[in-house]
Chain A
Amino acid sequence: GENVEQHPSTLSVQEGDSAVIKCTYSDSASNYFPWYKQELGKRPQLIIDIRSNVGEKKDQRIAVTLNKTAKHFSLHITETQPEDSAVYFCAAKKGSDSWGKLQFGAGTQVVVTP
């Protein structure tokens, strides 16, 4: 099955600096890669996603890049703010799956210090 590895497990950044989280996946046919943000005590929420026919996608201060050859994708947060502190999960959907089942990474705890 699909296996998604996520690094680092924790990330501490100064406010205003950038944060990068990287995920690798095993199934070369995977075709959908979302990122979810989970604030303390809250439910995970989708913040950005990318499909395999696109190399990069941006939404204000966040961006996701996909390298299909290397089978990895990354989340970039620029100009970090305290409200970016949360656990971030990457995920991948197998290309053969039509139901939208996702394989999640283990998560990255991001702490933004003022």
Chain B
Amino acid sequence: DVKVTQSSRYLVKRTGEKVFLECVQDMDHENMFWYRQDPGLGLRLIYFSYDVKMKEKGDIPEGYSVSREKKERFSLILESASTNQTSMYLCASSSQGLYEQYFGPGTRLTVT
């Protein structure tokens, strides 16, 4: 059974802080994704990674960066948090060629 975990369910940070969101999957998946979920906007892809140290920008990468030093772990970094980054952040993983994405429980980030 695929398990995707995220480091926090809820997080409150102040404007300008550096924020780290971590995601770990235990199924040896090659692909990992970071989305943000906002009402009425669905799931929007921030970044994805298809291998260790490999990453590509998604649709809304501005203000974010990512790190994938190990296959099972994919981190999302907000270099300087802003109030418009208040959102639900979802991590997902998938096996190369199979396309089904397995999601983590999400992190609700509030930036004040």
Contact = CB atoms under 8 A, between A and B. Distances in A.
A1 interface: yes
Interface residues of A, number: 24
What is the size category of the interface that chain B forms with chain A?
Answer: 20 to 34
Contacts of A44: 43, 90, 103
B98 A100 contact: yes
Interface string A70-114: 000000000000000000010101000011111111110000000
B44 interface: yes
Interface string B42-61: 11110010100000101100
B31 interface: yes
Interface of A: 1, 6, 9, 32, 34, 42-46, 49, 89, 91, 93, 98-107
Q: Which 6 pairs between the two chains have the least Cβ-Cβ distance? A: A43-B103, A104-B43, A106-B42, A100-B99, A104-B42, A99-B50
